[in-house]
Structure 1
Amino acid sequence: MSEQVRVAASLWSVPSGSQAAEARRLREAGLGVFHWDTTDGVFARAGGFSADVAATMTEETGALAEAHLMVADPLAHLDAWTGFCELVVVHAEAEEWRAALDRIERRGSRPALALSPGTPADGVPSTELAVLTMSVVPGNAGAAFDESALTIVRSLREAAAHAPRLLGIDGGVTREIARRAVGSGSNWLVSGTDLVGSATPQDWLSEVRKLPCPSAPSAE
Protein backbone atom coordinates (compact mmCIF):
# COMPACT_ATOMS: atom_id res chain seq x y z
CA MET A 1 0.00 0.00 0.00
CA SER A 2 1.42 3.41 -0.94
CA GLU A 3 2.20 5.99 1.71
CA GLN A 4 -0.36 8.67 2.39
CA VAL A 5 -0.07 12.29 3.35
CA ARG A 6 -0.25 12.66 7.13
CA VAL A 7 -3.36 14.64 8.08
CA ALA A 8 -3.82 16.02 11.58
CA ALA A 9 -6.85 17.92 12.85
CA SER A 10 -6.69 20.93 15.15
CA LEU A 11 -9.67 21.56 17.42
CA TRP A 12 -8.45 25.03 18.42
CA SER A 13 -11.58 26.79 17.10
CA VAL A 14 -14.12 24.28 18.42
CA PRO A 15 -16.08 25.49 21.50
CA SER A 16 -14.98 23.63 24.63
CA GLY A 17 -18.39 22.04 25.15
CA SER A 18 -18.31 20.50 21.67
CA GLN A 19 -14.69 19.34 21.51
CA ALA A 20 -15.16 15.77 22.72
CA ALA A 21 -18.09 15.15 20.36
CA GLU A 22 -16.18 16.69 17.46
CA ALA A 23 -13.15 14.55 18.20
CA ARG A 24 -15.33 11.45 18.08
CA ARG A 25 -16.96 12.58 14.81
CA LEU A 26 -13.58 13.10 13.15
CA ARG A 27 -12.26 9.80 14.46
CA GLU A 28 -15.31 7.98 13.10
CA ALA A 29 -14.71 9.70 9.76
CA GLY A 30 -11.26 8.09 9.63
CA LEU A 31 -8.98 10.72 11.14
CA GLY A 32 -5.84 9.17 12.60
CA VAL A 33 -4.03 12.11 14.23
CA PHE A 34 -5.07 15.00 16.48
CA HIS A 35 -2.91 18.13 16.56
CA TRP A 36 -3.02 19.58 20.06
CA ASP A 37 -2.12 23.26 20.20
CA THR A 38 -1.05 24.85 23.45
CA THR A 39 0.07 28.42 24.13
CA ASP A 40 1.44 30.38 27.08
CA GLY A 41 -0.28 33.67 26.25
CA VAL A 42 3.15 35.19 25.63
CA PHE A 43 4.54 33.57 22.51
CA ALA A 44 1.02 33.37 21.05
CA ARG A 45 -2.37 34.54 22.25
CA ALA A 46 -3.93 32.40 24.92
CA GLY A 47 -5.79 29.36 23.66
CA GLY A 48 -5.47 25.72 22.84
CA PHE A 49 -5.42 22.78 25.23
CA SER A 50 -3.86 21.66 28.47
CA ALA A 51 -1.92 18.41 28.35
CA ASP A 52 -4.45 16.75 30.68
CA VAL A 53 -7.43 17.55 28.45
CA ALA A 54 -5.58 16.54 25.30
CA ALA A 55 -4.40 13.27 26.86
CA THR A 56 -7.94 12.38 27.91
CA MET A 57 -9.41 13.01 24.45
CA THR A 58 -6.52 11.15 22.82
CA GLU A 59 -7.17 8.12 25.00
CA GLU A 60 -10.92 8.26 24.45
CA THR A 61 -10.58 8.34 20.65
CA GLY A 62 -7.66 5.94 20.31
CA ALA A 63 -6.01 8.28 17.79
CA LEU A 64 -2.38 9.32 17.55
CA ALA A 65 -1.44 12.67 19.05
CA GLU A 66 0.98 15.41 18.15
CA ALA A 67 1.61 18.51 20.28
CA HIS A 68 2.33 22.01 19.01
CA LEU A 69 3.98 24.04 21.77
CA MET A 70 3.49 27.70 20.91
CA VAL A 71 5.38 28.81 24.00
CA ALA A 72 8.41 30.98 24.75
CA ASP A 73 10.11 28.33 26.94
CA PRO A 74 9.36 24.85 25.57
CA LEU A 75 11.64 23.12 28.10
CA ALA A 76 9.22 24.18 30.83
CA HIS A 77 6.25 22.57 29.06
CA LEU A 78 7.26 19.59 26.94
CA ASP A 79 7.46 16.85 29.59
CA ALA A 80 3.67 16.95 30.02
CA TRP A 81 3.21 16.16 26.33
CA THR A 82 5.85 13.56 25.52
CA GLY A 83 4.08 10.94 27.61
CA PHE A 84 1.22 10.55 25.11
CA CYS A 85 2.27 12.39 21.94
CA GLU A 86 4.27 10.54 19.34
CA LEU A 87 5.44 13.87 17.88
CA VAL A 88 6.09 17.20 19.64
CA VAL A 89 6.65 20.51 17.83
CA VAL A 90 8.56 23.48 19.23
CA HIS A 91 9.22 26.84 17.58
CA ALA A 92 12.48 28.07 16.11
CA GLU A 93 11.69 31.48 17.59
CA ALA A 94 11.49 30.09 21.15
CA GLU A 95 14.17 29.95 23.82
CA GLU A 96 16.40 26.88 23.94
CA TRP A 97 14.66 25.22 21.02
CA ARG A 98 17.68 23.04 20.21
CA ALA A 99 17.79 21.72 23.76
CA ALA A 100 14.04 21.16 23.60
CA LEU A 101 14.36 19.06 20.44
CA ASP A 102 17.03 16.93 22.13
CA ARG A 103 14.88 16.42 25.22
CA ILE A 104 11.82 15.46 23.17
CA GLU A 105 13.85 12.74 21.46
CA ARG A 106 15.35 11.51 24.73
CA ARG A 107 11.86 11.17 26.16
CA GLY A 108 10.78 8.94 23.28
CA SER A 109 8.78 11.27 21.04
CA ARG A 110 9.66 12.52 17.59
CA PRO A 111 10.87 16.14 17.62
CA ALA A 112 9.75 18.71 15.06
CA LEU A 113 10.62 22.34 14.52
CA ALA A 114 8.01 24.97 13.60
CA LEU A 115 8.79 28.07 11.55
CA SER A 116 6.53 31.09 12.01
CA PRO A 117 5.83 33.37 9.03
CA GLY A 118 8.94 35.41 8.34
CA THR A 119 11.35 32.92 9.90
CA PRO A 120 13.88 31.72 7.29
CA ALA A 121 14.41 28.03 6.76
CA ASP A 122 18.19 28.24 6.60
CA GLY A 123 18.46 27.76 10.36
CA VAL A 124 16.99 24.25 10.31
CA PRO A 125 19.85 22.09 11.60
CA SER A 126 19.25 18.79 9.80
CA THR A 127 17.91 17.56 6.49
CA GLU A 128 16.02 14.80 8.35
CA LEU A 129 14.37 16.90 11.07
CA ALA A 130 10.58 17.19 10.76
CA VAL A 131 9.57 20.79 10.05
CA LEU A 132 6.15 22.41 10.38
CA THR A 133 5.84 25.62 8.38
CA MET A 134 3.25 28.03 9.73
CA SER A 135 1.06 29.71 7.13
CA VAL A 136 -0.63 31.92 9.73
CA VAL A 137 0.77 33.77 12.74
CA PRO A 138 0.78 31.34 15.70
CA GLY A 139 -2.45 31.57 17.65
CA ASN A 140 -4.43 33.14 14.78
CA ALA A 141 -6.60 30.19 13.82
CA GLY A 142 -8.87 30.97 10.89
CA ALA A 143 -6.57 33.64 9.43
CA ALA A 144 -5.82 33.84 5.70
CA PHE A 145 -3.22 31.47 4.26
CA ASP A 146 0.26 32.98 3.80
CA GLU A 147 1.50 31.94 0.36
CA SER A 148 5.16 32.18 1.42
CA ALA A 149 4.72 28.91 3.32
CA LEU A 150 4.63 27.02 0.03
CA THR A 151 7.97 28.50 -1.02
CA ILE A 152 9.57 27.47 2.28
CA VAL A 153 8.28 23.91 2.03
CA ARG A 154 9.51 23.66 -1.53
CA SER A 155 13.01 24.78 -0.54
CA LEU A 156 13.13 22.34 2.38
CA ARG A 157 12.01 19.46 0.17
CA GLU A 158 14.64 20.28 -2.44
CA ALA A 159 17.32 20.41 0.27
CA ALA A 160 16.38 16.95 1.50
CA ALA A 161 15.17 15.22 -1.64
CA HIS A 162 16.39 11.79 -0.52
CA ALA A 163 15.85 12.11 3.25
CA PRO A 164 12.83 10.58 5.04
CA ARG A 165 11.67 14.04 6.03
CA LEU A 166 8.26 15.03 7.38
CA LEU A 167 7.37 18.51 6.09
CA GLY A 168 4.15 20.10 7.23
CA ILE A 169 1.99 23.15 6.69
CA ASP A 170 -0.26 24.49 9.44
CA GLY A 171 -2.79 27.30 9.09
CA GLY A 172 -5.66 27.94 6.70
CA VAL A 173 -5.35 24.53 5.03
CA THR A 174 -8.36 23.88 2.81
CA ARG A 175 -8.69 21.04 0.33
CA GLU A 176 -7.49 23.33 -2.46
CA ILE A 177 -4.50 24.50 -0.44
CA ALA A 178 -3.79 20.90 0.54
CA ARG A 179 -3.34 20.05 -3.16
CA ARG A 180 -0.96 22.97 -3.62
CA ALA A 181 0.94 22.15 -0.43
CA VAL A 182 1.50 18.53 -1.44
CA GLY A 183 2.55 19.71 -4.88
CA SER A 184 5.16 21.90 -3.16
CA GLY A 185 6.57 18.96 -1.19
CA SER A 186 4.48 18.75 1.96
CA ASN A 187 3.57 15.32 3.31
CA TRP A 188 2.03 16.56 6.55
CA LEU A 189 -1.03 18.81 6.74
CA VAL A 190 -2.64 20.36 9.81
CA SER A 191 -6.18 21.57 9.23
CA GLY A 192 -8.61 23.11 11.68
CA THR A 193 -11.38 25.33 10.37
CA ASP A 194 -11.84 23.70 6.96
CA LEU A 195 -11.63 20.05 8.03
CA VAL A 196 -13.53 20.48 11.29
CA GLY A 197 -16.17 22.59 9.58
CA SER A 198 -16.72 20.05 6.82
CA ALA A 199 -20.13 18.38 6.78
CA THR A 200 -18.45 15.24 5.42
CA PRO A 201 -14.95 15.03 6.92
CA GLN A 202 -14.55 11.52 5.50
CA ASP A 203 -14.72 13.01 2.00
CA TRP A 204 -12.20 15.72 2.98
CA LEU A 205 -9.80 13.09 4.28
CA SER A 206 -10.31 10.75 1.36
CA GLU A 207 -9.62 13.46 -1.21
CA VAL A 208 -6.43 14.62 0.48
CA ARG A 209 -5.12 11.11 1.10
CA LYS A 210 -5.36 10.33 -2.60
CA LEU A 211 -2.77 13.01 -3.33
CA PRO A 212 0.65 11.58 -4.26
CA CYS A 213 2.82 11.71 -1.15
CA PRO A 214 6.12 13.52 -1.89
CA SER A 215 8.10 11.48 0.66
CA ALA A 216 7.07 8.84 3.13
CA PRO A 217 6.07 10.06 6.62
CA SER A 218 6.87 7.74 9.51
CA ALA A 219 3.34 7.47 10.91
CA GLU A 220 -0.25 8.41 10.09
Structure 2
Amino acid sequence: MSPLASHRPIIAPSILTADYAHLAREVRAVHDAGAEWLHLDVMDGVFVPNISFGADVVRKLRPHSAAVFDLHLMVLDPAAMIPSIVAAGADRITIHVEGTIHLHRIIGQIHDAGLKAGVAINPGTPVAALEAVTDIVDQVLVMSVNPGFGGQSFIASSLDKVAALRERRGARQYLICVDGGVKPDNAAALVEAGADMLVAGSAVFQGAGTYAENIAALRG
Protein backbone atom coordinates (compact mmCIF):
# COMPACT_ATOMS: atom_id res chain seq x y z
CA MET A 1 0.00 0.00 0.00
CA SER A 2 1.17 3.52 -0.74
CA PRO A 3 2.29 5.75 2.15
CA LEU A 4 -0.24 8.22 0.75
CA ALA A 5 -3.61 7.25 2.18
CA SER A 6 -5.58 8.09 -0.97
CA HIS A 7 -2.84 7.09 -3.40
CA ARG A 8 -3.51 10.36 -5.18
CA PRO A 9 -0.22 10.95 -6.98
CA ILE A 10 1.92 13.97 -6.24
CA ILE A 11 2.58 15.85 -9.47
CA ALA A 12 5.98 17.55 -9.53
CA PRO A 13 6.49 19.70 -12.63
CA SER A 14 10.11 19.70 -13.75
CA ILE A 15 11.22 23.23 -14.50
CA LEU A 16 13.82 21.84 -16.92
CA THR A 17 11.24 22.36 -19.68
CA ALA A 18 9.80 25.63 -18.37
CA ASP A 19 10.40 29.00 -20.00
CA TYR A 20 13.81 29.96 -18.60
CA ALA A 21 13.29 33.59 -19.55
CA HIS A 22 10.38 33.75 -17.09
CA LEU A 23 11.18 31.12 -14.47
CA ALA A 24 9.71 32.96 -11.52
CA ARG A 25 6.43 33.42 -13.38
CA GLU A 26 6.43 29.75 -14.42
CA VAL A 27 7.06 28.57 -10.85
CA ARG A 28 4.17 30.66 -9.54
CA ALA A 29 1.89 29.53 -12.36
CA VAL A 30 2.30 25.78 -11.91
CA HIS A 31 1.94 26.08 -8.14
CA ASP A 32 -1.27 28.06 -8.61
CA ALA A 33 -2.38 25.39 -11.09
CA GLY A 34 -2.24 22.69 -8.41
CA ALA A 35 1.33 21.39 -8.30
CA GLU A 36 2.27 20.48 -4.72
CA TRP A 37 5.95 19.98 -5.54
CA LEU A 38 8.42 21.48 -7.98
CA HIS A 39 11.21 19.30 -9.34
CA LEU A 40 14.52 21.07 -9.92
CA ASP A 41 17.24 19.21 -11.83
CA VAL A 42 20.79 20.27 -10.99
CA MET A 43 23.23 19.02 -13.66
CA ASP A 44 27.01 19.33 -13.63
CA GLY A 45 27.90 18.50 -17.25
CA VAL A 46 29.88 15.48 -16.00
CA PHE A 47 27.43 12.98 -14.54
CA VAL A 48 25.09 14.00 -17.38
CA PRO A 49 26.06 15.80 -20.60
CA ASN A 50 24.16 19.02 -19.89
CA ILE A 51 24.56 21.82 -17.36
CA SER A 52 21.35 23.28 -15.95
CA PHE A 53 21.54 25.53 -12.87
CA GLY A 54 22.71 25.53 -9.29
CA ALA A 55 22.02 26.97 -5.88
CA ASP A 56 21.78 30.60 -7.04
CA VAL A 57 18.76 29.88 -9.24
CA VAL A 58 17.11 27.86 -6.47
CA ARG A 59 17.64 30.74 -4.04
CA LYS A 60 16.09 33.26 -6.41
CA LEU A 61 13.07 31.08 -7.12
CA ARG A 62 12.37 30.20 -3.49
CA PRO A 63 10.44 33.41 -2.62
CA HIS A 64 8.11 32.85 -5.57
CA SER A 65 6.53 29.59 -4.42
CA ALA A 66 5.46 27.78 -1.27
CA ALA A 67 5.61 24.45 -3.12
CA VAL A 68 7.97 21.72 -1.97
CA PHE A 69 11.31 22.21 -3.73
CA ASP A 70 12.46 18.73 -4.71
CA LEU A 71 16.11 18.95 -5.79
CA HIS A 72 17.47 16.20 -8.02
CA LEU A 73 21.27 16.29 -8.07
CA MET A 74 22.58 14.76 -11.30
CA VAL A 75 26.16 15.39 -10.25
CA LEU A 76 29.31 13.43 -9.44
CA ASP A 77 30.16 15.25 -6.20
CA PRO A 78 26.86 15.81 -4.38
CA ALA A 79 28.49 16.18 -0.97
CA ALA A 80 30.24 19.39 -2.04
CA MET A 81 27.04 20.88 -3.42
CA ILE A 82 24.59 19.99 -0.67
CA PRO A 83 25.40 22.84 1.79
CA SER A 84 24.69 25.54 -0.81
CA ILE A 85 21.54 23.75 -2.01
CA VAL A 86 20.27 23.50 1.56
CA ALA A 87 20.96 27.19 2.18
CA ALA A 88 19.15 28.09 -1.05
CA GLY A 89 15.86 26.69 0.25
CA ALA A 90 15.55 23.06 -0.85
CA ASP A 91 13.08 20.85 1.00
CA ARG A 92 14.15 17.47 -0.37
CA ILE A 93 17.37 16.34 -2.06
CA THR A 94 17.78 13.23 -4.19
CA ILE A 95 21.19 11.89 -5.17
CA HIS A 96 22.12 9.11 -7.57
CA VAL A 97 23.30 5.67 -6.56
CA GLU A 98 25.66 5.90 -9.54
CA GLY A 99 27.00 9.32 -8.55
CA THR A 100 28.83 8.52 -5.30
CA ILE A 101 30.63 5.73 -3.50
CA HIS A 102 29.60 7.17 -0.12
CA LEU A 103 25.84 6.80 -0.34
CA HIS A 104 25.10 6.33 3.37
CA ARG A 105 27.29 9.27 4.34
CA ILE A 106 25.58 11.67 1.95
CA ILE A 107 22.08 10.54 2.92
CA GLY A 108 23.14 11.29 6.51
CA GLN A 109 24.45 14.68 5.43
CA ILE A 110 21.06 15.56 3.96
CA HIS A 111 19.17 14.35 7.01
CA ASP A 112 21.52 16.19 9.35
CA ALA A 113 20.64 19.39 7.49
CA GLY A 114 16.97 18.78 8.33
CA LEU A 115 15.87 17.79 4.82
CA LYS A 116 14.27 14.69 3.35
CA ALA A 117 16.68 12.48 1.40
CA GLY A 118 16.12 10.42 -1.72
CA VAL A 119 18.09 8.11 -3.98
CA ALA A 120 17.72 7.74 -7.74
CA ILE A 121 18.60 4.97 -10.17
CA ASN A 122 19.23 5.25 -13.89
CA PRO A 123 17.44 2.98 -16.38
CA GLY A 124 20.43 0.64 -16.53
CA THR A 125 20.67 0.23 -12.74
CA PRO A 126 18.68 -2.57 -11.06
CA VAL A 127 16.38 -2.02 -8.11
CA ALA A 128 18.65 -4.30 -6.07
CA ALA A 129 21.24 -1.49 -5.98
CA LEU A 130 18.94 0.34 -3.54
CA GLU A 131 18.53 -2.47 -1.04
CA ALA A 132 21.17 -1.22 1.39
CA VAL A 133 19.57 2.22 1.81
CA THR A 134 15.80 1.81 1.51
CA ASP A 135 15.54 1.71 5.31
CA ILE A 136 17.01 5.21 5.64
CA VAL A 137 15.65 7.19 2.68
CA ASP A 138 12.43 9.15 2.29
CA GLN A 139 11.98 8.60 -1.42
CA VAL A 140 13.26 6.49 -4.27
CA LEU A 141 13.37 7.94 -7.77
CA VAL A 142 13.14 5.66 -10.80
CA MET A 143 14.58 7.35 -13.87
CA SER A 144 12.38 6.25 -16.75
CA VAL A 145 14.64 7.94 -19.31
CA ASN A 146 18.40 8.35 -19.39
CA PRO A 147 19.02 11.52 -17.38
CA GLY A 148 20.24 14.79 -18.79
CA PHE A 149 17.68 15.82 -21.39
CA GLY A 150 14.00 16.73 -21.33
CA GLY A 151 11.44 15.42 -23.79
CA GLN A 152 12.67 11.81 -24.01
CA SER A 153 10.43 8.78 -24.53
CA PHE A 154 9.39 6.69 -21.55
CA ILE A 155 11.25 3.39 -21.05
CA ALA A 156 8.50 0.81 -20.52
CA SER A 157 10.55 -1.48 -18.26
CA SER A 158 10.43 1.27 -15.63
CA LEU A 159 6.97 -0.01 -14.72
CA ASP A 160 8.53 -3.25 -13.53
CA LYS A 161 10.96 -1.32 -11.33
CA VAL A 162 8.11 0.63 -9.74
CA ALA A 163 6.20 -2.57 -9.05
CA ALA A 164 9.32 -4.20 -7.57
CA LEU A 165 9.88 -1.24 -5.25
CA ARG A 166 6.28 -1.40 -4.07
CA GLU A 167 6.62 -5.13 -3.39
CA ARG A 168 9.88 -4.64 -1.46
CA ARG A 169 8.67 -1.66 0.53
CA GLY A 170 6.65 -3.48 3.15
CA ALA A 171 6.28 -1.25 6.21
CA ARG A 172 8.95 1.17 5.04
CA GLN A 173 7.60 4.59 4.21
CA TYR A 174 9.65 5.81 1.28
CA LEU A 175 7.84 7.44 -1.61
CA ILE A 176 8.20 5.85 -5.03
CA CYS A 177 8.85 8.53 -7.63
CA VAL A 178 9.18 8.36 -11.41
CA ASP A 179 10.97 10.85 -13.65
CA GLY A 180 11.13 10.87 -17.43
CA GLY A 181 8.65 10.65 -20.27
CA VAL A 182 5.66 10.77 -17.92
CA LYS A 183 2.50 11.57 -19.88
CA PRO A 184 -1.25 11.19 -19.35
CA ASP A 185 -1.17 7.95 -21.35
CA ASN A 186 1.23 6.21 -18.93
CA ALA A 187 0.54 8.05 -15.65
CA ALA A 188 -2.34 5.79 -14.60
CA ALA A 189 -0.26 2.65 -15.18
CA LEU A 190 2.58 4.08 -13.10
CA VAL A 191 0.26 4.89 -10.21
CA GLU A 192 -1.30 1.44 -10.47
CA ALA A 193 2.18 -0.08 -10.32
CA GLY A 194 2.90 1.85 -7.11
CA ALA A 195 4.18 5.33 -7.98
CA ASP A 196 3.42 8.02 -5.38
CA MET A 197 4.98 10.95 -7.22
CA LEU A 198 5.25 11.71 -10.92
CA VAL A 199 7.79 14.16 -12.30
CA ALA A 200 6.57 15.70 -15.54
CA GLY A 201 8.17 18.43 -17.62
CA SER A 202 6.95 18.48 -21.19
CA ALA A 203 3.53 17.08 -20.22
CA VAL A 204 2.94 20.10 -17.96
CA PHE A 205 4.78 22.98 -19.59
CA GLN A 206 4.27 21.97 -23.23
CA GLY A 207 1.01 20.05 -23.03
CA ALA A 208 -2.09 20.85 -25.03
CA GLY A 209 -4.04 22.50 -22.22
CA THR A 210 -3.49 25.02 -19.48
CA TYR A 211 -1.09 24.09 -16.71
CA ALA A 212 -4.06 23.17 -14.49
CA GLU A 213 -5.55 21.00 -17.23
CA ASN A 214 -2.24 19.29 -17.92
CA ILE A 215 -1.72 18.52 -14.22
CA ALA A 216 -5.28 17.21 -13.92
CA ALA A 217 -4.74 14.95 -16.95
CA LEU A 218 -1.72 13.39 -15.24
CA ARG A 219 -3.77 12.71 -12.11
CA GLY A 220 -6.39 10.94 -14.22
Partners of 1:46 and 1:101 lie apart in 2 by 24
Q: Deviations for 1:41-89, whole angstroms, at most 9, x for unmatched residues?
A: 0001223222121222122122210100000111111112223222100
- Are the aligned partners of 2:19 and 2:26 in contact in 1 as well (CA < 8 Å)? no
Which one of 103, 121, 124 corresponds to residue 127 of structure 2?
A: 121
- Are the aligned partners of 2:187 and 2:219 in contact in 1 as well (CA < 8 Å)? no
Tell me which moved more, 193-202 or 88-97: 193-202
Alpha carbons of 1:3 and 1:156: their partners in 2 closer, same or farther (altered >3 Å)? Answer: closer
Q: Deviations for 1:96-137, whole angstroms, at most 9, x for unmatched residues?
A: 232211100111111100000110111212444311000111
- Are the aligned partners of 2:183 and 2:218 in contact in 1 as well (CA < 8 Å)? no
Structure 1 portions without partners, runs of 5+: 211-220
Partners of 1:66 and 1:51 lie apart in 2 by 13
1:93 corresponding residue in structure 2? 98
The SS at the match of 1:206 is helix
RMSD (CA atoms): 1.7
Alignment of 1:67-106 (within 5 A): 67-83=71-87, 84-95=89-100, 96-106=102-112
**TM-score under structure 1 normalisation?**
0.88
The structure with the greater share of residues assigned to helix is 2
Partners of 1:171 and 1:73 lie apart in 2 by 23
Partners of 1:78 and 1:97 lie apart in 2 by 13
Partners of 1:149 and 1:136 lie apart in 2 by 9
Tell me which moved more, 148-157 or 160-169: 160-169
Partners of 1:205 and 1:16 lie apart in 2 by 20
Partners of 1:182 and 1:136 lie apart in 2 by 17
Question: Does the alignment pair 1:206 with 2:216?
Answer: yes
Tell me which moved more, 10-19 or 188-197: 10-19
Task: State the shift of 1:207 in Å.
Answer: 4.1
Partners of 1:171 and 1:3 lie apart in 2 by 20
Task: State the shift of 1:17 in Å.
Answer: 0.6
The SS at the match of 2:17 is coil
Partners of 2:120 and 2:201 lie apart in 1 by 17
Alignment of 1:172-191 (within 5 A): 172-191=181-200
Moved over 6 A (4+): none
1:142 corresponding residue in structure 2? 151
Which one of 44, 51, 56 corresponds to residue 47 of structure 1?
A: 51
1:162 corresponding residue in structure 2? 171
Partners of 1:126 and 1:91 lie apart in 2 by 12
Task: State the shift of 1:3 in Å.
Answer: 5.4
1:193 corresponding residue in structure 2? 202
- How many aligned residue pairs are there? 210
Partners of 2:67 and 2:187 lie apart in 1 by 21
The SS at the match of 1:173 is coil
Which one of 10, 15, 21 corresponds to residue 14 of structure 2?
A: 10
Which one of 16, 19, 24 corresponds to residue 28 of structure 2?
A: 24
Q: Deviations for 1:130-170, whole angstroms, at most 9, x for unmatched residues?
A: 11000111102111111121111110100113322200100
Q: Deviations for 1:2-41, whole angstroms, at most 9, x for unmatched residues?
A: 4531111111123421322222221221212111111110
Structure 2 portions without partners, runs of 5+: none
